[in-house]
């Protein structure tokens, strides 16, 4: 059973940085994909970034490429999202999710993921 716990959210000013953490358990195959999504009030949940558990491949939403960085620490079973140069439009609840091996679908699509954390709030003020 995969379990995910997000942390690291908070309230910051525009231009600041934050690092989100997703503590995982139950990921037994290197082909799992772990992703970050976000959902702002009144909007659909959207893809932010993902990483294959082996660390071999990363995926980014184009607007966030170069500003956000996803990484993993295998020893700590944790995936991180480093967010730099934050903007007010980055305000959202950020969720960690896993896409299991052997399941088709795009790494960029919400419907490909079957395990979700509870989310962590990020608020960026101008």
Residue 78 above 90 pLDDT? yes
- 5-18 pLDDT, tens digit each: 999 999 999 999 99
Q: Kindly tell me the sign of the dihedral angle through the C-alpha atoms of 57, 46, 117, 125.
A: positive
Contact (CB, 8 A) for 94 and 81: yes
Name every residue whose Cβ is closer than 8 Å to that of residue 112 and which is 6 or more positions away in sequence: 33, 99, 103, 104, 105, 106
| CA–CA distances in Å: residue 122 to residues 7, 21, 50, 89, 98 | 10, 12, 18, 10, 20
Instruction: Work out whether strand 10-13 and strand 120-125 pair parallel, antiparallel, or are unpaired.
Output: parallel
- 16-72 pLDDT, tens digit each: 999 999 999 988 777 799 999 999 999 999 999 999 988 789 999 999 999 999 999
What gap in Å lies between CA 97 and CA 22, rounded to an integer?
A: 9
């Amino acid at each position: 059973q995969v379990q995910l716990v997000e942390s690291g959210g908070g309230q910051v000013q525009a231009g600041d940085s934050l690092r989100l953490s997703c503590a995982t358990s139950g990921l037994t195959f290197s082909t799992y994909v772990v992703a970050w999504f976000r959902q702002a009030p009144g909007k659909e949940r959207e893809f932010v970034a993902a990483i294959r558990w082996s660390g071999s491949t990363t995926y980014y939403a184009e607007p966030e490429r170069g500003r956000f960085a996803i990484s993993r620490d295998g020893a700590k079973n944790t995936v991180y999202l480093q967010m730099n140069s934050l903007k007010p439009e980055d305000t959202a609840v950020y969720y960690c999710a896993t896409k299991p091996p052997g399941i088709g679908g795009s790494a960029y699509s919400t419907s490909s993921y079957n395990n979700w954390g509870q989310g962590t709030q990020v608020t960026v003020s101008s």
